[in-house]
């Protein structure tokens, strides 16, 4: 169990998305959920996104995984970063749970880093909120103020920025947490062999929203309305300001109609940037199999990283799972809410559900897709 030692309501009000903060001893008696060896094992897997960053005299060198061995990197000056560890390593999930005071749709992934002395990724700016939790070892963190920071070497595509004046300069030790909102430059330097955990939260950009909206309109043959005008300007080469606004008004009509945007949002927000450890049954199981499993004592567990979302005031009875729409027609709203909120549904609850055919069909679909599995 990982329990945060601070007032999350106060944190959300005063710091969340506003300013960085160091929370010393945010976890009492923190224990690393994964060892360096286990992390190295994950970094050898093809499906898992990993990289090594080497500190060099003139910058940083990034080597993408998977890795076969780590001997060539030596004793210091490098850092291994593995993304979406929560997808592949169920024992890391309890650490993620500690941050579910923030909603699931915002959660990105748990990235775990193993760093050797002098290892680090360099001064950079992220476009997401991050909680950096220190496990074993010590790392020094500097955070600069939000502002106009130049990209290092003028490279516009790089997240690396020039050195900055720190507003936070701290050595994190086991159980400490550093929270950094988007836009604040930061830089970690490793003092002793260290494991650290980055819990990232992200929100959609205009680019992502518009792309998803456009895809949905094309797929459903919608959004065909064209601009009309009754008055035209005399100048041949001119588009009037009123017409420009009228055309953009067509877009804001889409943004004001829940029937147009709800499914788009549900699909977009329930997608995951990283591969999931999907576990579909080789042979599809039936509703009867599910009922039997429940009667035999099975619980049902969601795979790590899967997003199951419900939209408030949804026009349709649906859940959004991993970018897909799932109908929940005929299922009690309270049960739907529970499915969206809980990662684990215990047998005692499931056995009260087994007389409801629509619900059993939903769970059968979830298990056959590999989204959920039976657990002890």
* Residue 126 in the binding site for Co ion (CB under 5 A): yes
Cβ(134)–Cβ(171) below 8 Å: no
Partner that binds at residue 345, options ligand SIN, Co ion, none, CB closer than 5 to 8 Å by kind: none
Q: Smaller CB distance to ligand SIN: residue 186 or 310?
A: 186
Query: Which phi and psi angles does 146 have, rounded to 5°?
Result: -65, 150
Q: Smaller CB distance to ligand SIN: residue 98 or 360?
A: 98
Q: What is the number of the residue whose Cβ is closest to Co ion?
A: 126
CB of 125 to Co ion, least distance (A): 8
Q: Smaller CB distance to ligand SIN: residue 113 or 270?
A: 113
Strands (E), the chain: 21-23, 50-56, 59-64, 78-82, 107-115, 129-134, 139-144, 166-172, 177-180, 186-190, 194-201, 299-302, 308-309, 318-321, 324-327, 344-345, 372-375
Residues 87-126 that bind ligand SIN (CB under 6 A): 113, 120-121, 126
d(CA 216, CA 266): 12
CB of 312 to Co ion, least distance (A): 32
Partner that binds at residue 185, options Co ion, ligand SIN, none, CB closer than 5 to 8 Å by kind: none
Q: Smaller CB distance to ligand SIN: residue 181 or 188?
A: 188
3-state secondary structure at position 142 = strand
* Helix (H), strand (E) at residue 298: none
CB of 159 to ligand SIN, least distance (A): 9
d(CA 131, CA 122): 17
> Position of tokens 């990034």?
62
CB of 7 to ligand SIN, least distance (A): 24
Q: Smaller CB distance to ligand SIN: residue 141 or 261?
A: 141
Cα–Cα distances in angstroms (integers) from residue 252 to residues 2, 213, 248, 305, 341, in the given order: 44, 12, 7, 33, 31
Residues 129-168 that bind ligand SIN (CB under 6 A): 130, 132
Residues 224-253 that bind ligand SIN (CB under 6 A): none
Residues 3-62 that bind ligand SIN (CB under 6 A): none
CB of 55 to Co ion, least distance (A): 15
The only residue of 55, 196, 263, 369 in contact with ligand SIN, by rule CB under 6 A: 196
d(CA 282, CA 367): 11
Cβ(287)–Cβ(357) below 8 Å: yes
Write out the residues near Co ion by the rule CB under 5 A. Answer: 126
Q: Which residues bind ligand SIN (CB under 6 A)?
A: 113, 120-121, 126, 130, 132, 186, 188, 196, 198
């Amino acid at each position: 169990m990982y329990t945060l030692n601070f007032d999350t309501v106060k944190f959300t009000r005063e710091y969340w998305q506003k300013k960085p903060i160091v929370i010393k001893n945010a976890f009492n008696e923190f224990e690393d959920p994964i060892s360096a060896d286990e992390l190295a094992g994950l970094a050898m897997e093809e499906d898992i996104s990993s990289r090594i960053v080497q500190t060099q005299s003139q910058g940083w060198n990034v080597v993408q995984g998977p890795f076969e061995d780590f001997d060539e990197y030596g004793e210091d000056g490098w850092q291994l970063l593995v993304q979406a560890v929560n997808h592949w390593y169920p024992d890391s999930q309890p650490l993620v749970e500690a941050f579910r005071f923030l909603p699931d749709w915002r959660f990105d992934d748990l990235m775990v880093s193993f760093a050797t002395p002098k290892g680090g990724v360099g001064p950079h700016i992220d476009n997401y909120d991050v909680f950096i939790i220190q496990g074993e070892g010590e790392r020094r963190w500097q955070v600069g103020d939000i502002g106009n920071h130049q990209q290092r070497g003028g490279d516009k595509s790089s997240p690396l920025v020039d050195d900055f004046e720190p507003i936070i300069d701290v050595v994190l030790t086991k159980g400490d947490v550093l929270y950094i909102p988007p836009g604040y430059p930061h830089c970690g330097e490793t003092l002793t062999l260290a494991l650290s955990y980055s819990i990232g939260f992200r929100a959609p950009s205009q680019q992502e929203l518009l792309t998803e909206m456009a895809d949905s309109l094309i797929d459903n043959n919608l959004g065909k309305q064209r601009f009309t005008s009754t008055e035209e300007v005399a100048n041949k080469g001119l588009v009037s300001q009123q017409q420009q606004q009228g055309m953009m008004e067509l877009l804001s009509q889409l943004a004001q109609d829940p029937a147009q945007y709800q499914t788009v949002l549900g699909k977009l927000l329930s997608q995951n940037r990283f591969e999931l450890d999907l576990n579909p049954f080789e042979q599809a199981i039936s509703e009867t199999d599910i009922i039997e499993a429940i009667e035999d004592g099975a619980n049902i567990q969601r795979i790590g990283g899967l997003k199951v979302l419900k939209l408030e005031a949804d026009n349709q009875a649906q859940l959004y799972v991993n970018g897909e729409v799932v109908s929940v027609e005929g299922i009690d709203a309270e049960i739907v809410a529970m499915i969206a909120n809980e990662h684990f549904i215990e047998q005692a609850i499931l056995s009260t559900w087994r007389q409801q055919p629509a619900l059993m069909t939903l769970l059968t679909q979830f298990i056959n897709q590999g989204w959920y599995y039976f657990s002890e």
